[in-house]
């Protein structure tokens, strides 16, 4: 009698729960134990907490928050109409504002200054296809550049493997296999111009890295300007 009552109560409970919300044993057996998004966050925590230390918690919160975006206007086209539309939505032209405070003499001083020090013997580990692809594309760009020309390497990654190590590995590869010398250009003037707009990573050895920040939530964005010497 008691068993029959329990079975009846179970059936009543199931009847009150919509079918789409009921636990389906067959489906549940194939569900991942941890969601892919949770695994990605765990991987980020293990990797970037070591790289950025105390800065990582603020970067992590910023990555999970709403980001800011920028609009690039084509200066070689009739851009007055587009600029007017951007002004109507209260967009801020931080490029022209920074240029108005630009000191040309300061830039010329930086251009002749010695390049940022790097380790020429540092090997770039081949940790994946994307890393090898970045190396090959960057190398091809420098090989196609005439002596005196410039190449800008840029990514949307926080990883120093995909940023600084690619630059250093490509520099070493060109010197050893092709006898081509390249120089990392000093971008300190760029950092000074946009320090009120972007949050730059202080410990970047080669190039500049923009870190996500709740106050100025742009990035991540890495860029490095190289000049081919020979």
Q: Look at residue 3 and tell me if it is in a domain.
A: no
Each residue's pLDDT tens digit, 160-189:
999 999 999 999 999 999 999 999 999 998
Give 94 or 222, the one with higher predicted confidence: 222
Rounded Cα–Cα distance for residues 176 and 180 (Å): 8
Is 204 among the residues known to form the active site? no
Tell me the average pLDDT across 130-149.
Answer: 92
Q: Look at residue 137 and tell me if it is in a domain.
A: yes
- CATH value at residue 199: 3.40.50
Name the helix (H) or strand (E) containing 150. Answer: strand 150-155
Q: Look at residue 49 and tell me if it is in a domain.
A: no
Q: What is the pLDDT of residue 126?
A: 42
Each residue's pLDDT tens digit, 203-226:
999 999 999 998 888 989 999 999
Q: What is the pLDDT of residue 120?
A: 40
Q: What angle do CA 124, 126, 130 make, to 5 degrees?
A: 110
Q: What is the pLDDT of residue 138?
A: 94
Q: What is the pLDDT of residue 148?
A: 95
CA-to-CA dists, residue 32 to 19, 28, 36, 38, 50, angstroms: 21, 9, 8, 11, 28
- For 195, the domain range is 54-228
The total domain count for the chain is 1
Instruction: Please pick, among 156, 199, 204, 224, the residue that the annotation labels catalytic.
Output: 156
Each residue's pLDDT tens digit, 98-135:
776 666 555 444 433 334 344 444 444 445 677 888 89
How does residue 159 score in pLDDT terms, banded at 50, 70 and 90? very high
Q: Look at residue 83 and tell me if it is in a domain.
A: yes
Q: What is the CA radius of gyration of the chain?
A: 26
Q: Look at residue 1 and tell me if it is in a domain.
A: no
Q: Look at residue 86 and tell me if it is in a domain.
A: yes
Q: Look at residue 143 and tell me if it is in a domain.
A: yes
Q: Please confirm whether the linkage preceding 220 is cis (ω < 30° from 0).
A: yes
Rounded Cα–Cα distance for residues 138 and 132 (Å): 10
Token look-up 């960057």 returns 138
Each residue's pLDDT tens digit, 17-32:
666 666 666 655 566 6
Q: What is the pLDDT of residue 31?
A: 63
Could you tell me how many residues make up the chain?
Answer: 230
CB environment 15-48: b (16+ within 10 A), e (fewer): eeeeeeeeeeeeeeeeeeeeeeeeeeeeeeeeeb
Nearest by Cα to 203 from 50, 44, 99: 50
Q: Look at residue 144 and tell me if it is in a domain.
A: yes
Each residue's pLDDT tens digit, 57-83:
999 999 999 877 777 787 777 777 777
pTM over 0.75: no
With a cut of 50, say whether residue 137 has pLDDT above it.
yes
Q: What are the counts of helices (DSSP H) followed by strands (DSSP E) for the chain?
A: 10, 4
């Amino acid at each position: 009698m008691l068993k029959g009552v329990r079975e009846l109560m179970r059936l009543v409970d199931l009847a009150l729960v919509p079918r789409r919300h009921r636990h389906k044993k067959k489906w549940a057996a194939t569900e991942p134990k941890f969601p892919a998004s949770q695994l990605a966050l765990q991987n980020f925590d293990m990797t970037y907490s070591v790289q950025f230390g105390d800065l990582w918690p603020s970067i992590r919160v910023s990555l999970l928050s709403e980001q800011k975006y920028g609009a690039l206007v084509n200066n070689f086209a009739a851009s007055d109409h587009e600029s007017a539309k951007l002004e109507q939505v209260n967009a801020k032209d931080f490029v022209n504002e920074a240029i108005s405070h630009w000191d040309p003499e300061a830039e010329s001083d930086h251009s002749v200054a010695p390049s940022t020090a790097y380790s020429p013997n540092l090997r770039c580990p081949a940790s994946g296809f994307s890393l090898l692809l970045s190396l090959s594309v960057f190398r091809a760009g420098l090989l196609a550049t005439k002596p005196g020309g410039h190449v800008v390497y840029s990514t949307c990654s926080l990883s120093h493997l995909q940023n600084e190590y690619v630059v250093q590995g490509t520099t070493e590869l060109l010197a050893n296999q092709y006898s081509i010398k390249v120089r990392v250009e000093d971008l300190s003037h760029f950092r000074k111009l946009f320090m009120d707009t972007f949050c730059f990573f202080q410990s970047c050895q080669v190039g500049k890295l923009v870190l996500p920040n709740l106050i100025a939530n742009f990035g991540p964005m890495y860029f490095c300007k190289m000049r081919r010497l020979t």
